[in-house]
Amino acid sequence: MHAEKVGHPPTGGGPTFTIKTYCNPINIDYGYTPIPNFTEWGKHRATADPVIVMYKGDYYLFSTNQWGYWWSSDMSNWHFVSRLFLKPWHKVYDELCAPAVWVQGDTLLVFGSTYSTNFPIWMSTNPKANEWKEAIDSFEIGGWDPDFFLDDDGKLYMYNGSSNRYPLYGIEIDRKTFAPKGTRKEMYLLEPWRYGWQRFGEYQDNTFLDPFIEGAWMTKHNGKYYLQYGAPGTEFSGYADGVVVGDHPLGPFIPQSQPLSYKPGGFARGAGHGATFKDPNNNWWHVSTIAISVKNNFERRIGIWPAGFDKDDVMYMDAAFGDYPHYLPINVSSPPAGGGGREGAEGGEASFTGWMLLNYSKPVTVSSTLASYYANFAVDENIKTYWSAATGNKGEWIATDLGSTCTVRAIQLNYADQDVNFLGKQQGTYHQYKLYQSADGKNWKLLVDKSNNKTDVPHDYIELQTPVQTRYIKLENIHMPGGKFAISGLRVFGNGNGNKPEEVKQFIVLRTEKDKRSAWLKWRPVDNAYAYNIYMGLAPDKLYNCVMVYSSNEYYCKAMDKEKPYYFTIEAINESGVSVRSKVIKAD
């Protein structure tokens, strides 16, 4: 079984065409949580802690709880390979958790998180065919959230750690016997007293617990070592990957003040515990964890984001419009659309399509509604909320009014889990539906026919071969894999036929001596804007973190290094495009 492409021909059975774009969360057949006491508030899909590596020209994706892995030749069409790596005596629910994956010579190797001494390291030279054997039957030192890194000189290192008390650790490993060489050394411990984004909690106030450091990943670039780590907690919008930089695989390291992978706003929030990889065209990308955390704290998804290094070897990830349609690697060739100034940058940042969200908070009509799962939750740009029909029956539907005639280029369908009855990885489940469009809301024309689909597409993304001028989009259910027909996001992308928003005026940043990790940002509302992008960074041309804010003219920023000045700019967003950015301002 495989996940369908991240886009599809406009009608079932029609001629295929080259898929150019994708949209986060990525559309793969996520398994359901296998842990019974994690489902007391409802059974649901869950994965996290992703790793993507290139092996023999293909992308290989591993993540938590999946009873297998995916491969893709184009980062669009993902094929699932069912595989159990653990044995009955390991006595775990979730198979591989936060797996380490690396390439050593002509071999792909895999190892899962464990505090025990009896987990094997697996190896394969033909993972597409699911051909694996044990490199060793027991990796004696174990390690939770492990990462193995093979340096250019042939030396192998392992990093691990997941704790709110202890640091990340690193150690050299014999690449033939996988025996440790020496003892583990401390790599880095969080410094939330200095870096505001490292504070625990949705509001970064350290309520309830101290912050966690976890999810190590090492990248080498221009002779420097970039040790990445996840913090402060996977449940939160501010879940991020930070990075420390050194001249040796085991340090010492100096932190980059800003988080590398950071997406606290928008539909799909959170971008922590991930991995950085390079595609065949030398574009850098970062894959990481998206938080939902409604039915359980560990209800999560996966996102892929353009990343890179600037001319000063600062590592960054571009989260601007990070859950809007982006070009796939083969199409990355235009100037940067998002982010904040990357002269001389090396990376995949030039990938935003410029297609805007056309139906944010617009009128919605539905066939039925279950209890308080109201219709407009499907268009509120919050993955945590969703509309549910009263049943999962064929014929249930939802229609969204764009407000005026727009150029529709793509549609993303984000299914929610309501009353599903699955535990663990399922095979043979599928979604079927039809999409219609209408100029007047009365006369409907078939736009996409997936009534014969036989694949599991929980975040289906349809790139239209030919854009359409229309005002209404209707989604009609044919078949659900289980539970009710429920949608957390019916998201329509393209371009409005109106004017772009005006420039934001009177943008101010209030930063005081009381706590310089935090600031209160305010601005005069723009009448024809539905959202704003706030860019921030440590220099006017290094505004590498971006926060999208919907339907508000303020933002409480708690992510700063208290010992450095910051720079900010803001742009307004509507269905027809993006305003010019405001003048960059400095906040001491």
The answer to whether the CB of 329 falls within 8 A of the CB of 285 is yes
145 — pLDDT class (breaks 50, 70, 90): very high
Domain 30-307 has CATH 3.40.50.300: no
* Mean of pLDDT over the chain: 93
pLDDT digits (tens, 9 = 90+) for 20-30: 999 999 999 99
Q: Which CATH class is domain 364-495?
A: mainly beta
Average pLDDT over residues 507-528: 96
The answer to whether the CB of 192 falls within 8 A of the CB of 199 is yes
| Entry pTM | 0.94
**Measured between alpha carbons, how far is 536 from 341 in angstroms, rounded to an integer?**
11
pLDDT at 344 over 60: no
**Measured between alpha carbons, how far is 392 from 477 in angstroms, rounded to an integer?**
8
Burial class (CB in 10 A: 0-12, 13-18, 19+), 239: buried
6 — pLDDT class (breaks 50, 70, 90): very low
Residue length of the chain: 588
pLDDT at 444: 98
pLDDT digits (tens, 9 = 90+) for 351-361: 899 999 999 99
Domain ranges in the chain are: 30-307, 364-495, 505-587
Domain formed by 505-587, architecture: Sandwich (2.60)
pLDDT at 335 over 80: no
The answer to whether the CB of 319 falls within 8 A of the CB of 271 is yes
pLDDT at 1 over 50: no
**Amino acid of residue 54:** M
**Amino acid of residue 151:** D
12 — pLDDT class (breaks 50, 70, 90): very low
**Measured between alpha carbons, how far is 555 from 450 in angstroms, rounded to an integer?**
41
Q: Three-state DSSP class for 564? A: coil
pLDDT digits (tens, 9 = 90+) for 294-325: 999 999 999 999 999 999 999 999 999 999 99
**Measured between alpha carbons, how far is 588 from 586 in angstroms, rounded to an integer?**
6
The answer to whether the CB of 306 falls within 8 A of the CB of 349 is yes
Average pLDDT over residues 225-254: 97
Closest by Cα among 544, 550, 552, 418 to 485: 418
pLDDT at 346: 42
**Measured between alpha carbons, how far is 9 from 15 in angstroms, rounded to an integer?**
7
pLDDT digits (tens, 9 = 90+) for 459-508: 999 999 999 999 999 999 999 999 999 999 999 999 999 999 999 999 99
Token pair of 420 as six digits: 């599903």
pLDDT at 10: 35
Greater confidence (252 vs 38) lies with: 252
pLDDT digits (tens, 9 = 90+) for 106-138: 999 999 999 889 899 999 999 999 999 999 999
91 — pLDDT class (breaks 50, 70, 90): confident
First-to-last alpha carbon distance for the chain, in angstroms, is: 54
The answer to whether the CB of 301 falls within 8 A of the CB of 268 is yes
Token pair of 244 as six digits: 């420390």
**Measured between alpha carbons, how far is 474 from 364 in angstroms, rounded to an integer?**
10
209 — pLDDT class (breaks 50, 70, 90): very high
pLDDT digits (tens, 9 = 90+) for 245-300: 999 999 999 999 999 999 999 999 999 999 999 999 999 999 999 999 999 999 99
